[in-house]
Structure 1
């Protein structure tokens, strides 16, 4: 795991990429996404930042924070319910009309629920849409802009940035005790929905989709990041969510990644040369290896230049405690 000082040093170097980086943050008005937005604004020159979410007042506060950190930044809020894919298409069309390139697509939409299948008017489960379908629709729609950023002839090759980061959990299926297999007879879980199965399907399908895109789009890199525990408004959708948060947060805090550190670490995942595109990674040598799943869902290793990576964000202090305990 990269130390926090090393991560901050890398993030501070992003100014060398020059002015005008363009980033889209889906779910960017709170939590992990907002902490990454603020880290991005702090470490870049005149960035254009699109925040996508539902809450106008949260967006206004986020934009004020961005402008306070970096007066040269150009943040904009796009309000929409992205549990409907038609709204995702509309948002992407609007961004494409304004921008000729996109350097970073960062996605964290989702929510905690105890409900069963909750269908939208488009016939898909709302949780499944936020964890998988909407994310992949954003990627597919915005790939032309990401490709343009990766091949921008006006920028030195080493200064180009074209990356997709989806924050969920690349290994949730195995973590839930399963083998990581998909139910190909019911991929959308129309007939066999459960919360565990939804989590496993969203994780695996996200892995496979990003891996396929990395092969077909070798100039853009794709990261599926697991954030570990972070102090966010995760319980807001649950009954008595505020009570649960008040009780559990103090107990779990020592084991959680602080929200500002989470932003720094996710910005590193979104910009570091440790996660190169397939083209950039060809011929590179390194001692570490990325992880992926084979067609059976089993975790296997892949080369550094595969263009699609799994990244786990951990609490640095907890890791130190574990390391000392193991000795």
Structure 2
């Protein structure tokens, strides 16, 4: 079966491994990987590279407009987003007024989903790889969702994680209002993975992080298998319950006890998200 997949953050680490797994398992398919820099090696002939700075809302909009124009009749089976950064820096705003970490981990992901929804097949899978375990409505500062006033490393992490939780439920609820599609929205926790994400840490933290990797990490290939197989299994189970969103853990299993966000909470998060994104797009123009 021919599969069409778009993997943002697919130029290294988990995203690269997921792209390669889709390409290997479906040789007749097309896998597009996007990130800032082209990988030194693209191992499969059915993988294409397209450059994208996923921290820039303007570049994301230009990218999605171009993608839609060029491939309007070629629907996408998988939209996978793994882009991220591991940094100890404080709030670092992009030229668009968004913290760089939050732009990568949250706002850019949601803009990609919004703009590419018309390109997704009716049963497409949308997979966000960040942390599908730790988010909750109680971990948000509802009066400062973009953390302009109360930014901290832990608060930024919890805001991105929790708002991604909210938005997979928001997108699932929106499509169910019309009942026209069966797209499934997944927020996945990859666990400790032997990737190069720690390379941006200060030198004195790299040795401890490398030791942790050796003790606890799984390979990017193994993580990719868990993420993709778990998405497939959870989609089938969730659809039987009439649910079109899932949170999965590092083994691809359903995360138990995840909060179902209220309509009021979903509206607050989505309204905030589109306000920040659209303001950035107007600012950049």
| Same fold flag (TM > 0.5) | yes
Equivalences for residues 254-265 of structure 1 within 5 A? 254-265=215-226
Compared CA separation, residues 125 and 248, structure 1 to 2 (3 A): closer
Distance 1:131 1:110, change over 3 A: same
Correspondence for 1:89: 61
The aligned counterpart of 1:30 is 12
Once the two structures are superposed, residues 15-61 of structure 1 have per-residue CA deviations (whole angstroms, 9 ceiling, x without a partner) of: xxx22x211101001111111111111111321111110112x2x41
C-alpha separation in 2, matches of 1:229 and 1:37: 19
Distance change (3 Å), C-alpha of 1:42 and 1:228:
same
Distance 1:309 1:102, change over 3 A: same
Alpha-carbon distance in structure 1 between the residues aligned to 2:172 and 2:237: 7
RMSD: 2.2
Q: Secondary structure at the match of 2:107?
A: helix
Aligned length: 246
1:140-151, aligned counterparts within 5 Å? 140-146=114-120, 149-150=121-122
**Distance of 1:162 and 1:46 partners within structure 2:** 18
Does the CA contact (< 8 Å) of 1:54 and 1:81 recur in 2? yes
Distance between the aligned counterparts of 1:26 and 1:34, measured in 2? 9
Match of 1:8 in 2: none
State whether residues 226 and 252 of structure 2, in contact with CA within 8 Å, keep that contact through their aligned partners in structure 1.
Answer: no
Aligned to 1:66: 44
Instruction: Give the secondary-structure state (helix, strand or coil) at the position aligned to 1:274.
Output: helix
| Alignment partner of 1:170 is 2:121 | no
Is the alpha carbon distance of 1:315 and 1:275 closer, same or farther for their aligned partners in structure 2, counting shifts above 3 Å? closer
The partner residue of 1:43 within 25, 32, 42 is: 25
Is residue 2:175 matched to residue 1:217?
yes
* Gaps in structure 2 of 5+ consecutive residues: 177-181, 254-285
The answer to whether structure 1 residue 136 and structure 2 residue 122 are counterparts is no
Contact 2:18 2:224 in 1 (8 A): yes
Deviation at 1:264, TM superposition (A): 1.3
Asked which structure has the greater CA Rg, the reply is 1
> 8 Å contact 1:220–1:277 — kept in the other structure?
no
Structure 1 portions without partners, runs of 5+: 1-17, 68-72, 151-160, 285-303, 317-327
Does 2:77 match 1:108?
Answer: no
CA distance in 1, matches of 2:128, 2:194: 18
Cα displacement (A) at 1:253: 2.3
Q: Is 1:236 equivalent to 2:199 in the alignment?
A: yes
User: Is the 8 Å Cα contact of residues 162 and 221 (structure 1) preserved in structure 2?
Assistant: yes
Separation in structure 1 between the aligned mates of residue 195 and residue 59 of structure 2, nearest angstrom: 25
d(CA) in 1 for partners of 2:172, 2:252: 29
Listed one character per residue, the Cα deviations across residues 165-189 of structure 1 (whole Å, up to 9, x for unaligned) are 0001123347xxxx73321211111
Contact 2:35-2:50 at 8 Å conserved across structures:
yes
Distance of 1:315 and 1:277 partners within structure 2: 13
Partners of 2:143 and 2:208 lie apart in 1 by 41
CA distance in 2, matches of 1:268, 1:186: 37
TM-score by length of 2: 0.80
Q: Which one of 172, 180, 197 corresponds to residue 138 of structure 2? A: 180
1:276/1:214 CA distance change after superposition, 3 Å: farther
Encode CA deviations 1:87-131: one digit per residue, 9 max, x unaligned.
111111121122221110001111111111000011010000111
Paired residue for 1:313, among 250, 258, 271? 250
1:245 Cα deviation from its structure 2 partner: 4.2
2:213 equivalent among 242, 252, 260: 252
Distance 1:277 1:163, change over 3 A: farther
